A = this chain, B = another copy of it.
C-alpha cells in the first residue's frame, strides 16, 4: 500500500500467480485458464490497478497514439475534420494528440517534433502554409506513416488526401452560368496556396469551356474567413461592371459575402448568386441556405484516419494519393429556386 502505484506484480502476488500470467490476462490471451483469468480480473478491480501504457510502449516499441495537426481549429471545416479523425481513431482504440498551429510554421515544427518524441505511430496533418517536403523527412526515414490532408505538399513522399478542388469550382461556375450569369466573380482565399490555385483554375477553365471571357478584376483574394468575405465582396462591388454572382473560396468567405451583400441592402439568392465551397454544417441551416460544393470534412477526416490506420497495420508505407470527389449542393443562395423573372439580378 505504501508504494505509489499498483503494478502487475502486485496483482500477481495478490492472486498467487506470476506477473507473466497477469500480463497474458491483460492481453486477453487464450492461453490462460478461465478460472485464473477471473481471479486476476477480480484482483485488478479490487486493487484499482491502472494499466501503464508507457511501459508497454517502451517494451513493444509501438504505441496506440496518432498525431493530428491542423492549421486552424477555429475554422469549423477543420474542427469537423478533427471530429471525423477522432471518430475512427477512437473506435480503433487509439488516442490522438491534437495540436493547432494557427498557420505558424514554427509552432508546427515544435508540435510535430514533440509528437514524434512521444512515439506516435502515425501522423495526420493539414499543413501550415509554407510547409516543405523536408519537414517530413524524419518520418519517412523511420517508416512512420504520414497522411497529408486538405493541403498537399509537393515533393513530400507521404500519402495525401485532398478534395477535387478543380472539379468543384468548375461545377460551381457551370451551375451559375446555367442560371444565366456571365459576370461571375471568384472571391476570397490567399492566392499563394495550392488549394486556391486549384479552385481558381477550375473556375477559369469552366469559364473558357463555356465561352465566357475571363476578367482578372473579378478575382479578388482575401483572408479565407468570414471577415475576408465581407472585404472581398466590398472590393468587387467597387467595379464599374459589377459581378452578379460569385464562386467563393470557401463557406466562411461565402457567409461573409452574404453579410456584405446585406449591409448594402442586397439579398443573397435574390439580388446576387453566391456559391460556397466545403459545405460546413451551418451551410444547411443558414438563411438563405448556402449553395455550395460539398467536401464533407468529417468524412474526409474519417477516410484520412482509415488510410493512416491501414498503413500503420500493414507495416509498409507506400505513399498513396487520394483525390476525394466533391458534389454541388444546390440550396438557396444561388437563387435557383426562383424563376428567372423573380430574380432581381442583372443578367
Interchain CB contact (< 8 A) of A54 among B57, B76, B97, B260 = B57
Quick check: B285 and A226 within 8 Å, CB to CB?
yes
Q: Please name 4 further chain A to chain B contacts, defined as beta carbons within 8 Å, in addition to the given A54-B58, A97-B98, sorted by A numbering.
A: A48-B138, A50-B138, A55-B58, A65-B118
A99 near B: Cβ within 8 Å?
Answer: yes
A90 near B: Cβ within 8 Å?
Answer: yes
Residues 80-121 of A, flagged 1 when their CB comes within 8 A of B and 0 if not, give: 101100110010010111111010000100110011111100
Quick check: A93 and B114 within 8 Å, CB to CB?
yes
Kindly provide the distance from the CB of A55 to the nearest chain B CB, expressed in whole angstroms.
Answer: 5
Quick check: A110 and B90 within 8 Å, CB to CB?
yes
Quick check: A74 and B119 within 8 Å, CB to CB?
no
Quick check: B99 and A97 within 8 Å, CB to CB?
no
A13 near B: Cβ within 8 Å?
Answer: no
Q: Which 9 A-B pairs have the closest CB atoms?
A: A98-B98, A259-B287, A79-B79, A262-B287, A226-B285, A54-B54, A54-B57, A51-B117, A53-B117
Q: Is the interface of A mostly helix, strand, loop or mixed?
A: helix
Least CB separation from A79: chain B residue: B79
Chain B residues within an 8 Å CB radius of A4: 61
Least CB separation from A93: chain B residue: B114
Chain B residues within an 8 Å CB radius of A17: none
Chain B residues within an 8 Å CB radius of A114: 93, 95
Quick check: B83 and A73 within 8 Å, CB to CB?
yes
Kindly provide the distance from the CB of A256 to the nearest chain B CB, expressed in whole angstroms.
Answer: 7
Kindly provide the distance from the CB of A191 to the nearest chain B CB, expressed in whole angstroms.
Answer: 22
Given the contacts A58-B54, A76-B74, A95 and B83 also touching, CB distance less than 8 Å: no
Chain B residues within an 8 Å CB radius of A138: 48, 50
Kindly provide the distance from the CB of A181 to the nearest chain B CB, expressed in whole angstroms.
Answer: 23
Given the contacts A110-B90, A230-B285, A63 and B73 also touching, CB distance less than 8 Å: no
Quick check: A53 and B226 within 8 Å, CB to CB?
no
Interchain CB contact (< 8 A) of A118 among B5, B54, B61, B68 = B54
Chain B residues within an 8 Å CB radius of A52: 58, 117, 119
Least CB separation from A67: chain B residue: B95
Given the contacts A51-B117, A58-B55, A97 and B95 also touching, CB distance less than 8 Å: yes
